Amino acid sequence: MRGVYNKGKNGTLLWGTNSGITYFLPAEVEPFSFDKKPVMTGMQAGDREINHALSCADITLSYKDNIYSFEFSTMDYRHAESIRYEYRLAELGDEWATTLPGYSRITFSHLPWGSYTLEVRACFEGTHSPVARWNMRIAPPWYFSVWAWLVYVLVAAGVCFRFYRSVRRKRINRRNAEKLKIFIDLAHEIRSPMTMILNPAESLLREDAFDGRTQKALRSIYKNACRIMGLIGQMLDISKIDRSLFRLEYSETDIVGFIDDVCQTFEYRANERNITLKFEHEQSELSVWIDRNNFDKVLVNLLSNAFKYTPDGGEVTVRLRTERPSKGGESGWAEISVMDSGKGIETKDLKKIFDRFYQASGSSFGYGIGLNLTKMLVGLHHGTIRAFNRTDRSGSCFVVRIPLGKAHIDPADIVEPSVEPLHPVVLPEEEKMKKPRVRTNYRLLVVDDDKDLCDYLSAEFSDTYKVMVAYDGEQGMKIALSELPDLVISDLKMPVADGIALTKELKKNSNTSHIPIILFTTQSEREQFVRSFEAKADAFLNKPFRMEELRMLVTSLLANRALLKGKYSGSLEQADKMKEIEVKSADDALMERVMEIINKHLDDPEFSVDFLADHVGLSRVSLYRKMKEITGISGGEFIRNIRMKQAAKLLEDGKLNVSQVAGMVGFVSNTHFSTVFKKYYGVTPTEYMAKKKQS
C-alpha cells in the first residue's frame, strides 16, 4: 500500500509497505559521530623520509629542504576511500584546505623559516573529527640564527665603537692641529720681535764699553732669547715630524761632554734658586751617534721640566751609564736619567704625560708639547723613554736609552760632525773692532709688514746703502718697478701680496728680473724653500737671522751681480777690437725674424701672437714653446715687453704725448695703454715722463 503512514501517540512513525509495516521511534535514534582523530603516519622533507619524528608533537625541519610532505590516517579502514582531510597552518590564516576523498597526503613548499602550528581534521559524511595539532619549526639559515644575530650585534657595536673612537680621535687631532697652527702663527709673530732682541744683544756683546755685570746681564738676555727661539722651534719641529718631513743627521759625539755642556746652561738657574745640579757618569768619554742639533732638545726639555717642578733648595741629578749585553750582536745602550726632588707624578698620569697637550692632575706634568716632542725625538734616535716616581725619595725620574754604535742608522743620515757653540761667543779684541763701512750707491728695498724690523734694517744698512721701505708686497712691487733697486730683502708672509708673489712678479718682468732677492721667514719648512727657489729667489734666511750674516749675504749678492755685469759689459767693450765671424744658430735666426716682424707691425692694434706665428712659419704651440725656451716668457708677453720698451723710449724723448705714443705702439685705448704701462713700470706714462724730465 503506497503512501500509507501513521504516527503513534508516543511519537512512533509507521509506514505500510508490501512486505508489512515499518516503524521506529525517532527519540531512540542516536546521531552519527566521527571521533577518529587523525594521526601522522608518514613525513618527508625534500627527498628524505623522516620517521623518528612521527610520534613527536614538535617537529623541527631545515630551511634547505624547501618541500615538506605529511601523511595521515584515522585508523578506520572501513570508509577510508570516503574520508577527506582538512588542514591549515594557524599562523597563515583561518581557512581550511581540503584533500580529495581517500587522499591522505598534504604538501607544503617554499615556506619561510619560522614556527608554525599544523592543524589537521578528518571529514566523513559532513562530520568532522577532533583537530590534531603539531608544532612545526623550520630552522633559519645559519646567518639568521640566534648566534649569528649575537655576532652581528657585537660586530655592529664594535664598528660603532671604532667609529666613535675614530671621530673622537679626529676631533682631538683637529683640535690639536688648530692649537699647533695657532702656535705656529704665533711663532711667526714672535720671531720678528725676537730678531730685534737677538741682533742688538749680539751687537752689544761685541762692545767693550760695559762692565762685567752688564756683560753678564747681556749674556743672560741673549741666552734666554735663544731659549725662547728654541721653544718656538719645538712647535715647528712637531709639525714637521707629523708630516714625515723631519730628518736626523747623525754624527759621532762624546755624550759625556755633550751632556756636561747642556748642564752648564742651567747652572745660572740652579744658583739663582739654590738647586743642586749634579752630573754623574761612570766614564770620562762615551761615543754615541746622535743628531746634536736635535738631541740637545731632549736634554733641555727634561732638565727644564725637572727645574720647573723642583722646589728651591732641591736637587736635580743627571746620571749617565751604559748597559751592554752579556752576549749577542747588540752593542748595548747609553742610559741617561734625569731625576728631580719634586712631588712626583700621579700614577694614573704616568702613561699619558708624553701625550700632546696633556696636563696631568694638579697641573704637575705634561702640559704643552715639550714632552711629546721629546718622545718623538728619542723615537727617531731609535731609543726609548719612560717616566716613573723615585723610590729613594720624593720626585720623578725620566730615563732615556739610546743604542750604542751605528748599525741601526741609515748611512745616508750620517754627516760629518760640526762644532756649534751653545753660548754666544765673545769675540777677541781684534774681532770686536768694527770695520769702517764704505758708503756706496747701491739701493736696497726692504719689504716687511713689521715696521720695527723695517726701521731696524733701514738703520743698519743706511750707513752703506740707500734704503727704501715697503710694508706689503703690493707696495714693494710698485717701488721696485719705479725705482729699480739693486737688491730686494722681503719677508715671505705678508698681507696683500706675500714674498713669493712679489718674487714671481719681479723675476718675470724684464726690467726687474736681474735684481737679487733675499727672502726671510719663520716658516722653516722644506716646501717653503722649494716654493722660494721655484719663484727664482736668490737667497733664503730664517728668522731670527744674525745681522752680520745678512750683511755678508747682501754684500756677496751685490758683488756677484757686479761681476756678472762687468763680464758682459767688458765683452761689449772689446767687441770693436775683434774680428767677428758671424755664425747664426737656428734660435738666433728665429729671434731676428721675430724682431723684424714685431718692429714692422708694432703700431698695428691687430698684431697678435697668431699673426706672428703665421709670418714666422710656426704653429702657435710651436712658437710658444720656442719663445719659452729662448726667452723664458710667452710670445704675448714678449710682444708686450717690446711695446713697453718702445713706449718708454718715445716718452723719454718727450716729442710725443701719451696718446700719440699709445697709437705708435699699437694701443687703441689710452686707458688700456696706461694700465699695461703702470703694471710694467710701476708708474703711469704721465708720471714716467715727468720723472724723466726731472732726472
pLDDT above 80 (res 515)? yes
Helix, strand, or coil (residue 21) = strand
Based on the domain organization, do 456 and 388 belong to the same domain? no
Q: Which domain holds residue 74?
A: 39-140
Domain count, the chain: 4
Based on the domain organization, do 276 and 302 belong to the same domain? yes
- Confidence bin at 163 (pLDDT 50/70/90): very high
pLDDT above 90 (res 318)? yes
DSSP β-bridge partners for residue 123: 84, 128
Mean of all residue pLDDT scores within the chain: 80
- Give the range among 87-101, 514-528, 670-684 with minimum mean pLDDT: 514-528
pLDDT above 70 (res 327)? no
User: Residue 516's closest CA among 554, 565, 459?
Assistant: 554
Percent of all residues in the chain with a pLDDT value above 70, rounded to a whole number:
83
- Confidence bin at 248 (pLDDT 50/70/90): confident
Q: How far apart are CA 594 and CA 636, in angstroms?
A: 12
CA–centroid distance for 424 within its chain: 37
- Report residue 76 as a C-alpha cell: 578506520
Better-predicted residue by pLDDT, 639 or 579: 639
Better-predicted residue by pLDDT, 381 or 455: 381
Better-predicted residue by pLDDT, 205 or 316: 316
What's the pLDDT score for residue 676?
A: 85
Q: How far apart are CA 477 and CA 447, in angstroms?
A: 9
Based on the domain organization, do 624 and 678 belong to the same domain? yes
pLDDT above 60 (res 55)? yes
What's the pLDDT score for residue 384?
A: 92
What's the pLDDT score for residue 574?
A: 44
pLDDT above 50 (res 419)? no
Based on the domain organization, do 542 and 658 belong to the same domain? no
Q: How far apart are CA 664 and CA 667, in angstroms?
A: 8
Based on the domain organization, do 396 and 268 belong to the same domain? yes
Task: Confirm whether 13 is domain-assigned.
Answer: no
Angle between helices 547-573 and 146-205 (to 10 degrees): 80
Q: What's the half-sphere exposure (Cβ side, CA atoms, 13 Å) at 555? A: 11
- Confidence bin at 156 (pLDDT 50/70/90): very high
pLDDT above 50 (res 159)? yes
**Residue 112, domain CATH:** 2.60.40.10
What's the pLDDT score for residue 177?
A: 75
pLDDT above 90 (res 161)? yes
Task: Confirm whether 163 is domain-assigned.
Answer: no
Task: Confirm whether 251 is domain-assigned.
Answer: yes
Task: Confirm whether 367 is domain-assigned.
Answer: yes
pLDDT above 50 (res 322)? yes
Based on the domain organization, do 455 and 504 belong to the same domain? yes
- Confidence bin at 120 (pLDDT 50/70/90): very high
Task: Confirm whether 206 is domain-assigned.
Answer: no
Task: Confirm whether 101 is domain-assigned.
Answer: yes
What's the pLDDT score for residue 433?
A: 38
Provide the residue type at 34 as one letter: F
pLDDT above 50 (res 455)? yes
Q: How far apart are CA 130 and CA 34, in angstroms?
A: 9
Based on the domain organization, do 465 and 366 belong to the same domain? no
- Confidence bin at 317 (pLDDT 50/70/90): very high
Helix, strand, or coil (residue 31) = coil
Better-predicted residue by pLDDT, 245 or 338: 338
pTM recorded for the entire structure: 0.43
pLDDT above 70 (res 90)? yes
Based on the domain organization, do 566 and 592 belong to the same domain? no
User: Which stretch of DSSP H or E encloses residue 416?
Assistant: none
- Give the range among 177-181, 247-251, 548-552 with minimum mean pLDDT: 177-181
Based on the domain organization, do 625 and 535 belong to the same domain? no
What's the pLDDT score for residue 432?
A: 38
Based on the domain organization, do 361 and 471 belong to the same domain? no
DSSP for 597-625, written as a single string: HHHHTTT-TT--HHHHHHHHT--HHHHHH
- Report residue 148 as a C-alpha cell: 649569528
Highest mean pLDDT range out of 153-162, 194-203, 300-309, 652-661? 153-162
Mean pLDDT value of segment 42-56: 78
What's the pLDDT score for residue 150?
A: 92
pLDDT above 80 (res 437)? no
What's the pLDDT score for residue 416?
A: 67
Better-predicted residue by pLDDT, 468 or 6: 468
Q: How far apart are CA 371 and CA 355, in angstroms?
A: 8
Based on the domain organization, do 261 and 407 belong to the same domain? yes
Percent of all residues in the chain with a pLDDT value above 90, rounded to a whole number:
13
Based on the domain organization, do 310 and 451 belong to the same domain? no
Task: Confirm whether 193 is domain-assigned.
Answer: no
